Structure 1
Amino acid sequence: MARFLKHEAKKIGTAPGSLIFVGNKRSDVVSIHAIRYNAESYESFPDAKLEEIGGIVQEGSLTWIDVFGLHDPDVIQAFGDKFNMHPLLQEDVLNTEQRPKYEEYSEHNTFILKMLSVDRDHSAVLTEQVSIVAGKNYLLCFQEVKGDVFESIRQRILNQTTKIRERDSDYLAFAMLDAIVDNYIVSIEYFGNEIENLEAEMLVRIEPEILPRINTYKREISSLRRIVRPVLEIVFQYEKSESPHLDSKTIPFIKDLQDHVVQATEAIEIYKELLNDELSFYHTSMSNRLNDTMRVLTVFSVIFIPLSFLSGVYGTNFKYFPELEYKYSYPIFWTLLISIACLMLYFFYRKKWL
């Protein structure tokens, strides 16, 4: 199965804006969690009902709504109707294979990104799509499953003295982007350590099982590159945005986030090149090992050429062989063979061919 283009056959022939879930099938119920806060107050709404959302969002407070589960198009459409989400945006939210991107609408700014985790047992990158819709007094976060990298943000919101309690959805969106990018760096660091450890192993000894590991890391680094590179474009667009939903006070933080994304993309490129070097080093080492083997075999073949010649001469069936009548001909013959072999071995050793 194609790893980077999955489930897209479901959408073939459908009109743009058709609400079709693209992703792994799920049977669990979509859950909604909301928190509403401002500088003075905080209120949580766990397991909120869809029909309650309209009453939770209030003027003067910021409401962060998490939607866990994208497999029910009716739920996404209900949020789309409530918050005036464009049909194409709703379609993108339902498509878990959507490329990361940033878009602006009159009532909100939207971000679609991938959240990462690492399966350390199999050295594999696991992805989950996150769609963020940030408008006045509200922020919607659509996720495939429960469990994310935003718990530290939730803890900061609980603290009444933090800056995030006084800011609108643009700053909360920045904080979420920052958490996602920090998680990118953690994932890249894991693979970076694995790649550097592999390099150290290769300097000691080259084994055939190293090649599958190199190919695994190359595949996962390519996956990371595909996910992280568009985020640089997203952050750049957000920093240059003239959207009314972006406060100028947030822009310096976005510029700092841009530096983090650049750091992540540069690290990916470095490890990508390092893997290419390791692959080249592996093939060169294996080729040299084969050459060494062939050289040893060739040396021994060359040694046996004169020995075979002498054995062939004295193995013929001529009637008259004066040497055969001599008493010490047999030991002399063996002495001659061994002497020739030793002289040739010494010669090859001096030439450093052995």
Structure 2
Amino acid sequence: MQRAVENISEKTGMPPGSFISVGVKEAIPSKFFVYNIDEANTRMQEVDSLTPNLLKHNDKTLLWVDTQGFSDKDSIHTLFETLNIPSLLQEDIINTRHRPKIEAFDDSLLIVTKRIIAGHGKRLHTEHIVLLLGPDYILSFQPPVNDSFHGVRERILNIKYPYTHKGYVFYMLLDNLIDGHFAIMEHLHQRLDRLESKLLNSKEESSPQEELTTLKHDIALARRIIVPMRRFVTDLRFKRDNYFLPSIDPYLTDLSDHIEQLAESCEIYSESVTMLIEINSENINIRTNEIMKTLTLISTIFMPLTFITSVYGMNFDYMPELRMQWGYPVCITFMGIISLFLYRNFKNRKWL
């Protein structure tokens, strides 16, 4: 997907709630999935643009509109105007750089969050996700690739009452989104295991410093997304009366368990990558000490040789050994014996 960052300064001086898209500009056209859900069945339409007639529904029907992509601003504006979405909520929805948050109103509930995906080179990045629960509708917004609600899309065609209630459908969307992060946790776990094995067992001279830095960044990114979700789910459990049936309590508890597992994994992985960075630093110090020890031992071997050559390099007029026929071979042999003796001695002590 081709993307470029749109400057948030375009909103400077504009009144609150102005319909100005901030964040990511998308080149891929938007798609819209419109679901009409009643107690007996579910009808789905996939369209390239939205019209007011397409969004009409009766009081006994739940409308779910899944918007994939933010490039079709006209259709998104039509959606907002037809369902009378407050302007401040519109502003939060189309701001793809908005921080994660949850806002509860008398008849609606807004969750702005991010989903984590593994992109090129297995690096993690985030994409804008919005869920809006209204009186008789649910709106979901996500990028045009990597469908976050594929599982719900298949299940919802076969569900019956009471699972057609807006609270349960909203729970399914949130559950599908949260469960998708378990694959990201497995991805991070595999990278941690691979690096741990490399640091503890490998004899490579190179240091995986870049991999460690990248992994630490990705774990921190996952924490920034998952930890706020823990608060979202907690708020849902305490504010459920306006939005959910009492029978949904076990499902919200299960959802809370899932997000707690993800949050705990983030904490464990954060500690693990810190430990790996310390191990890597220790390995670097050990390799440095080994190099310095080897150089020191080599210098020690050459010290007596340097002494001998310096003695016979003195400019005295009378040095008997210089005029001996076997002086040079004897000197070289003696130097070789000293070098061999020192080398063998260091080798026996396992210093080399």
AA in 2 matched with 1:241: K
Please give the per-residue CA displacement for 1:289-315, whole angstroms capped at 9, x wherever unaligned: 122112111111122112111111112
Please give the per-residue CA displacement for 1:48-93, whole angstroms capped at 9, x wherever unaligned: 63211442x2222222111233245554444333333232211110
Q: Secondary structure at the match of 2:58?
A: coil
AA in 1 matched with 2:214: T
Distance 1:209 1:307, change over 3 A: closer
Q: Secondary structure at the match of 2:242?
A: coil
Q: Which residue of 2 aligns with 1:32?
A: 32
CA distance in 1, matches of 2:297, 2:83: 81
2:168 paired with 1:171:
yes
CA distance in 2, matches of 1:276, 1:15: 45
CA distance in 2, matches of 1:113, 1:67: 15
Distance 1:101 1:13, change over 3 A: same
Name the % identity: 29
Instruction: Kindly state the Cα deviation for residue 240 of structure 1 after the two structures are TM-superposed.
Output: 1.0
CA distance in 2, matches of 1:7, 1:246: 38
CA contact (8 A) 1:38 1:165 kept: no
Structure 2: which 5+ runs fail to align? none
When structure 1 is superposed on structure 2, of 309-318 and 36-45 the one drifting more is 36-45
Instruction: Kindly state the Cα deviation for residue 284 of structure 1 after the two structures are TM-superposed.
Output: 2.1
CA distance in 2, matches of 1:61, 1:207: 65
CA distance in 2, matches of 1:207, 1:16: 57
2:41 paired with 1:41:
yes
Please give the per-residue CA displacement for 1:136-192, whole angstroms capped at 9, x wherever unaligned: 332111223255121221221222xx4676331111111111111111111121121
Q: Which residue of 2 aligns with 1:192?
A: 189
Q: Which residue of 2 aligns with 1:136?
A: 135
Q: Which residue of 1 aligns with 2:302?
A: 304
Matches within 5 A, 1:59-74: 59-74=59-74
CA distance in 2, matches of 1:143, 1:334: 80
Instruction: Kindly state the Cα deviation for residue 199 of structure 1 after the two structures are TM-superposed.
Output: 1.6
CA contact (8 A) 1:58 1:137 kept: no
Instruction: Kindly state the Cα deviation for residue 108 of structure 1 after the two structures are TM-superposed.
Output: 1.3
AA in 2 matched with 1:20: I
CA contact (8 A) 2:36 2:64 kept: yes
When structure 1 is superposed on structure 2, of 283-292 and 200-209 the one drifting more is 200-209
CA distance in 2, matches of 1:165, 1:43: 17
When structure 1 is superposed on structure 2, of 81-90 and 250-259 the one drifting more is 81-90
Instruction: Kindly state the Cα deviation for residue 207 of structure 1 after the two structures are TM-superposed.
Output: 4.5
Instruction: Kindly state the Cα deviation for residue 237 of structure 1 after the two structures are TM-superposed.
Output: 0.7
Q: Which residue of 1 aligns with 2:270?
A: 272
Please give the per-residue CA displacement for 1:304-332, whole angstroms capped at 9, x wherever unaligned: 11211111111222121233344443333
Instruction: Kindly state the Cα deviation for residue 96 of structure 1 after the two structures are TM-superposed.
Output: 0.6
Distance 1:22 1:243, change over 3 A: farther
Distance 1:41 1:128, change over 3 A: same
AA in 2 matched with 1:118: A
AA in 1 matched with 2:44: S
Q: Which residue of 1 aligns with 2:122?
A: 123
CA contact (8 A) 2:40 2:161 kept: no
CA contact (8 A) 2:136 2:166 kept: yes
AA in 1 matched with 2:17: G
CA distance in 2, matches of 1:300, 1:27: 63
Q: Which residue of 2 aligns with 1:50?
A: 51
Q: Which residue of 1 aligns with 2:177?
A: 180
CA contact (8 A) 2:163 2:169 kept: no
CA contact (8 A) 1:37 1:165 kept: no
2:103 paired with 1:106:
no
CA distance in 2, matches of 1:6, 1:51: 29
CA contact (8 A) 1:150 1:176 kept: yes
Q: Which residue of 2 aligns with 1:156?
A: 155
CA contact (8 A) 2:142 2:148 kept: no
Q: Which residue of 2 aligns with 1:86?
A: 86
CA contact (8 A) 1:164 1:172 kept: no
Structure 1: which 5+ runs fail to align? none
Distance 1:201 1:318, change over 3 A: same
AA in 1 matched with 2:94: L
Q: Cα RMSD between the aligned structures?
A: 2.4
Q: TM-score, normalised by structure 1?
A: 0.88
Instruction: Kindly state the Cα deviation for residue 264 of structure 1 after the two structures are TM-superposed.
Output: 0.9
Instruction: Kindly state the Cα deviation for residue 242 of structure 1 after the two structures are TM-superposed.
Output: 4.8
Q: Secondary structure at the match of 1:33?
A: strand
CA contact (8 A) 1:100 1:113 kept: yes
Distance 1:242 1:35, change over 3 A: closer
CA distance in 2, matches of 1:71, 1:250: 35
Q: TM-score, normalised by structure 2?
A: 0.89
AA in 1 matched with 2:90: Q
CA contact (8 A) 1:104 1:243 kept: no
Distance 1:50 1:44, change over 3 A: same
Q: Secondary structure at the match of 1:25?
A: strand
Q: Secondary structure at the match of 2:192?
A: helix
